[in-house]
Structure 1
Amino acid sequence: MNIKAVIFDLDGVIVSTDEFHYKAWQRMSDEAGVEFNRDINNRLRGVSRMECVDIILEKADRHFSEEEKIDLATKKNGYYSDSLSNLSRVDILAGARELIDGLKTANIKVAIGSSSRNAPTILARIGMADTFDAIADGNQIKNSKPDPEVFLLAARKLDIAPEECLVVEDAKAGVAAAIAGNMKCLAVGDAQFDGRAHICAPSLEGIAAGTLLALRKDAF
């Protein structure tokens, strides 16, 4: 196996805005009079904004029209986007910058594959807007994870075959998307317990580019 590119999910892999998301969804839910908690929040990882709204409204005591759902999603994104002004380089997760730099030094292409429409803003805030060889995000796709569309788009932008790409993911939906796209997957965080990923680790901290490049020959 010869990995020529590594495609990174953004939130939860390179930077964590989980608490920003949680507080924004909580505020939206409170205003809508709908129950929201950490367990529900955990189900929202890796899925689209409108799918998140549907999940949150599953136990609502009234029907919400499509227009109302769109309004809720818009409100949530506004609250979340406002909170992103607090992001900076110091919020880059441990090990991410070092691994990316190491891969680039080894002439391995790196890309972002994120379902988030806020990916460009996040990358700019943490000073990584020009770091990647390609960026595929929620503004450019129709189907969110577990559909592999965003990863396949990143591979096309890199001009590298999917089977020569390794995806780094922290969500089960992202792991499923990588596998559906015929890509290898390094699962970190909660996704390491998914059981479908080819490599698992608690985080990117301590994972050197050389480790991945050595593994690529016999670990898959």
Structure 2
Amino acid sequence: MVNFSEIKGFTFDLDGVITDTAKFHEQAWHDLATSLNVPWSAELGRQLKGISRMDSLNMILAEGGHENDYTDDEKSAFAAQKNQHYVALIQALTPADILPGMTEFLAEIKREGYVASVASASKNAPTILKKLGIMADFVGIVDPATLSHGKPDPEIFTKAGELLKLQPTQIIGLEDASAGVQAIKGAGQTALGIGTAAKEAQPNIWFAETKEISLANISKQMNG
């Protein structure tokens, strides 16, 4: 692992790292599944975490045995319907919805001269960051429309690193999902995992909760 002194920037996943909009995604998918007569389960909700909109829709349709019942145009309409519902739900976000400790951590890295970018597969990331009042804390957000592959492919974190204009060895990526940790490692960055799901992918640095994250605690794990 690289030495902490080499680190100059951070790439952030959004959901489960900075805020938790998973509950809104789950509500919107749950409502769509119900309208398509697909039985909902907590396990299905868990499987949809961190994957793209169309992949999520196809998993829901497969769960109900409807994978071959709709045209591509109909599927696109379902995905758009889900997104409209989700966008309506996230309008209620405020800075109070930032996960514990992350407001302080973002302020700390900015104060200490580090740069940060967002590696989120969500097309709604700019809206979410504006609602949370932290848009100015990031030099850029990866545009999901430019991506050819989803996590665990490293593409999104590679692009997030390019926004920082740094070498991969100078970057720490933050993720709460196993696929995301794999993507960070694949991009050659130091992987900081948060929570149980991230631990499965053996991140370089691990914290149980966001509130534990600080430059001092990261340094301790990297140089310990």
Confirm or deny: 8 A CA contact 1:15 1:93 kept in the other structure: yes
Match of 1:212 in 2: 218
Instruction: Read off the aligned partner of 2:39 and give its amino acid letter.
Output: E
| Bigger Cα displacement from structure 2, 85-94 vs 198-207 | 198-207
Counting aligned pairs with the same residue, the percent is: 31
Q: How large is the RMSD of aligned CA atoms in angstroms?
A: 1.6
Match of 2:136 in 1: 130
Instruction: Read off the aligned partner of 1:98 and give its amino acid letter.
Output: E
Q: Does 1:194 align with 2:173?
A: no
CA drift at 1:154: 1.1
Confirm or deny: 8 A CA contact 2:17 2:99 kept in the other structure: yes
Q: How many residues get paired? A: 218
TM-score by length of 1: 0.93
Match of 1:92 in 2: 98
CA drift at 1:214: 4.4
Q: Does 1:21 align with 2:47?
A: no
**Equivalent of residue 74 in structure 1, options 73, 80, 91:** 80
Q: Does 1:150 align with 2:138?
A: no
CA distance in 1, matches of 2:147, 2:199: 28
Instruction: Read off the aligned partner of 2:97 and give its amino acid letter.
Output: D
CA drift at 1:198: 0.8
CA distance in 2, matches of 1:118, 1:80: 9
CA drift at 1:68: 2.1
Instruction: Read off the aligned partner of 1:105 and give its amino acid letter.
Output: R
Unaligned runs of 5+ in 1: none
CA distance in 1, matches of 2:36, 2:151: 26
SS in 1 for 2:173: strand
TM-score by length of 2: 0.91
Q: Deviations over 1:60-103 (max 9, x none)?
A: 23323222221111111011000011100110100111111111
**Equivalent of residue 16 in structure 2, options 6, 12, 25:** 12
Instruction: Read off the aligned partner of 1:203 and give its amino acid letter.
Output: E
CA drift at 1:110: 1.3
SS in 2 for 1:102: helix
Instruction: Read off the aligned partner of 2:37 and give its amino acid letter.
Output: G
Match of 1:109 in 2: 115
